[in-house]
Amino acid sequence: MNDIAPPPATLRVNLDSDALAANWHQLDRMSAPGRAGAAVKADCYGLGVDRCVPVLRGAGARDFFVAHWSEVADVVRYVPASDISVLHGLISRTETDYARAVGARPVINSLDQAKLWAEAGGGACDVMVDTGINRLGLAMRDLSDPLIATLDVVTLLSHLASADEASPSNRRQLKLFREARAMVKAKRYSLANSAGIVLGPDYTFDLTRPGLALYGGIPRPELTDDIRQVAYPQAALLLRRDLEPGDRVGYNGTYIADRALPSGIVSIGYADGFLRSRGGEALTHEGRVLPLIGKVSMDMIVLDLTNAPDLREGDWLDIPFDMPGAAQRCGLSQYELLTVIGHRLR
């Protein structure tokens, strides 16, 4: 059995590597006078570390951000460990030992984490300060603790809560981050995510941390003409079935055919990240629109093939993935559309 190759997959995501590299270059230009890093957490937002990190590294990215220590091993195959920051920081001696052995930098998020790192012998680290999102990060008042002054801080970071909208909180957070910068000596300072880059040079500091926009997301309309689509998911037609008037389709029979029509069963479902909230969408084939009928199942959907009666089993169909449009149609955020992509597509 081990010598027998499996048949070709009936799901795939075509990755436009040129678009990914171009997106990083555009965000890097917009980050001037600083430079752009790359958020590669969650398996590069669902598109795959093995495919995306080498492209980003080749484009010029030198700073990579993951959330969990479990993500480091995949990324370090392509970039030096010293270029990787782990956003969730440290909660155990096991993690401090791993960090020191591998060489990836923890992002210190509390005085307890700072103490844990110092007691383990310390070394290069990043520090997150909370300026208004109330997630990870030291409180502003904690920055004056003598323990923080003992850390070897490479990057002082904070995270904008509302960079994707015109919110007064952006200016408030900027003001607080400038105060934090005056309190913590670091080699560089970083505030802006993808949307934050659009807010301009006041927000970019030394290093930005784009994520969504790298992979084709549009967090602010100003990026519409600058960011290219990266992911193009496709699914194969498994079976054709001719429906008669009155035939019910799928679970609970929510679709009832009002005429004779050709239908197609397609190899994608909610186990692949094509959630039931996308039930009102249509797939396409060479520009022809194929509406989805009935409920999304775990591993398949059913389409009305009236507009493409010539389709046959094995033909590849395009799944809409224009990020803002797809998000608006199904009610998911662009982040969710990306990160729920199932492993079977890869």
Q: Which tens digit of pLDDT belongs to each residue from 14-28? A: 999 999 999 999 999
pLDDT of residue 221: 96
Active-site residue, 41 included: yes
Mean pLDDT of the 277-281 span: 90
Structural domains in the chain (count):
2
Q: How far apart are CA 342 and CA 346, in angstroms?
A: 7
Total number of residues shown for the chain = 346
Place of tokens 């493409």: 308
Same domain? 172 vs 192 = yes
- Short-list 323, 320, 132, CA closest to 221: 323
Same domain? 203 vs 328 = no
What pLDDT digit, counting tens, does each position of 182-235 carry? 999 999 999 999 999 999 999 999 999 999 999 999 999 999 999 999 999 999
What pLDDT digit, counting tens, does each position of 94-149 carry? 999 999 999 999 999 999 999 999 999 999 999 999 999 999 999 999 999 999 99
The active-site residue out of 175, 185, 187, 251 is 251
- Short-list 85, 82, 152, 141, CA closest to 114: 152
Confidence of residue 1 (pLDDT cuts 50, 70, 90): low
For residue 6, tell me if it sits in a domain. no
Percent of the chain's residues with pLDDT above 90: 96
Same domain? 204 vs 294 = no
For residue 5, tell me if it sits in a domain. no
For residue 280, tell me if it sits in a domain. yes
pLDDT of residue 346: 76
Same domain? 257 vs 321 = yes
Mean pLDDT of the 51-69 span: 98
For residue 2, tell me if it sits in a domain. no
For residue 118, tell me if it sits in a domain. yes
The active-site residue out of 41, 78, 189, 335 is 41
Mean pLDDT of the 44-71 span: 97
Percent of the chain's residues with pLDDT above 70: 100
Q: Which residues, at least 6 apart from 323, have a Cβ–Cβ distance to it below 8 Å?
A: 216, 217, 218, 229, 334, 337, 338
Same domain? 62 vs 95 = yes
For residue 11, tell me if it sits in a domain. no
For residue 150, tell me if it sits in a domain. yes
pLDDT of residue 3: 84
Same domain? 268 vs 186 = no
Same domain? 287 vs 165 = no
Same domain? 31 vs 174 = yes
Report the CATH number at residue 235: 2.40.37.10
Same domain? 205 vs 279 = no
Q: Identify the domain boundary among 220, 248, 265.
A: 220
- Structural domain span for residue 95: 17-220
pLDDT of residue 6: 87
Report the CATH number at residue 172: 3.20.20.10
Q: Which residues, at least 6 apart from 91, have a Cβ–Cβ distance to it below 8 Å?
A: 113, 116
Active-site residue, 251 included: yes
Same domain? 139 vs 264 = no
Q: Identify the domain boundary among 220, 255, 273.
A: 220
For residue 12, tell me if it sits in a domain. no
Q: Identify the domain boundary among 158, 192, 220.
A: 220
Mean pLDDT of the 299-327 span: 96
CA neighbours closer than 13 Å in the CB half-sphere of residue 345: 27
pLDDT of residue 249: 97
Same domain? 133 vs 206 = yes
Using CA atoms, how far residue 112 sits from 69, 105, 142, 209, 253, in Å, is 18, 16, 11, 25, 56
Same domain? 182 vs 283 = no
**Please, what is the average pLDDT of the chain?**
96
To the nearest 10°, report the CA torsion of 108, 112, 114, 119: -140
Strands (DSSP E) along 174-287, which ranges? 188-190, 207-208, 231-243, 248-249, 255-256, 261-266, 282-285
